[in-house]
Structure 1
Amino acid sequence: MNTSLKALAVFITLAGSAWAEDLQDLPDDTLLGEVVTATENGEEERLLDLMREVQARGFLMFPKPQTCTFSYPDTEFFGNEIFRGAVRWGFGTDLRELAMSQGFCGCIYNLGSLDAFTTERVDKPAHALTAADFNTMRRYRNADWNTIDQRYATFREESCGA
């Protein structure tokens, strides 16, 4: 009987290794289909093996939502929410327009530099802005902000699925 148990243990070990090798040979779509099937059937051990293979292949089953943000310099100017908003709207308006012209669906802040924007407007980098620069920033394309934002929202919906 002891020999029978050893034989059974060897068989299970070999069968498990063969199953793991079989998982490596599955096409991606079949592997994902097997994950669904194992989940629906409550096959915990099989699901664990399948998920290990999914992880080994580097599949991202539940991607984190992408965020589109940029950071402001830590200065007195940008500490003022109204000043920060004026710069953000002007900068964002230019970037939205650029994104639409290029058919770009990614994060608009990847298309330009805040320093380049402020240097072009007031001849200084963002960290050097002062209260004296506020009116220039506030007036920059102020009349375009809403129109461009609406066009950009339509562009995103139609071209980017967002």
Structure 2
Amino acid sequence: MNTSLKALAVFIALAGSAWAEDLQDLPDDTLLGEVVTATENGEEERLLDLMREVQARGLLMFPKPQTCTFSYPDTEFFGNEIFRGAVRWGFGTDLRELAMSQGFCGCIYDLGSLDAFTQERIGKPAQDATTSDFSVFRKYRRSDWSDVNERYQNFQLERCGS
């Protein structure tokens, strides 16, 4: 009987492995269950592939509440809500597209720095942005802010489960 149970377990594991060849298609809870199964069965290569997918999704075995924020420099420019909003939308649009291209489910602000963004747009760090720079930020990618945000929300639901 013990041999029959082992054979059944091997069959289930093999069937499960064949069923889930594309790890990206697995729901988060199934993926984590597969990690446990691969660990118990000593499937080192499969476990490595599974853990790479866990990492790519930003899943943690013991998740902590995640906050996704960044801070603006304490300057007159960023003290203006309209100026701050224009920078945030442009910066966020770039980061959302980058997250989607990488299959990244973590905080988008971990993918880039505000200083690098402003350096590319106005040739100086965020700290040095002035009122005369506002028009650059206001116009930057304005036409596709909504489209990228909608695609990112769908990506979050389909890929990240949130």
Q: What range describes the TM-score normalised by the shorter chain of this pair?
A: 0.5 to 0.7
Partner of 1:128: 128
Partner of 2:91: 91
1:101 aligns with 2:101: yes
2:106 match: secondary structure: coil
Q: Deviations over 1:122-155 (max 9, x none)?
A: 0000000000000000000000100000000000
The structure whose Rg is larger is 1
Partner of 1:155: 155
Counterpart-to-counterpart distance in 2, 1:132 and 1:82: 13
Shift of 1:68: 0.2
Shift of 1:65: 1.9
Per the normalisation by structure 2, the TM-score is: 0.61
Counterpart-to-counterpart distance in 2, 1:124 and 1:64: 35
Unaligned runs of 5+ in 2: 1-60
2:70 match: secondary structure: coil
Q: Deviations over 1:104-136 (max 9, x none)?
A: 000000000100000000000000000000000
Per the normalisation by structure 1, the TM-score is: 0.61
Counterpart-to-counterpart distance in 2, 1:107 and 1:64: 13
2:67 match: secondary structure: coil
Counterpart-to-counterpart distance in 1, 2:127 and 2:95: 20
Name the amino acid aligned to 1:141.
R
Counterpart-to-counterpart distance in 1, 2:108 and 2:121: 19
Q: How does 1:139-150 map to 2 (within 5 A)?
A: 139-150=139-150
Q: CA RMSD in A?
A: 1.5
Unaligned runs of 5+ in 1: 1-58
Shift of 1:64: 4.4
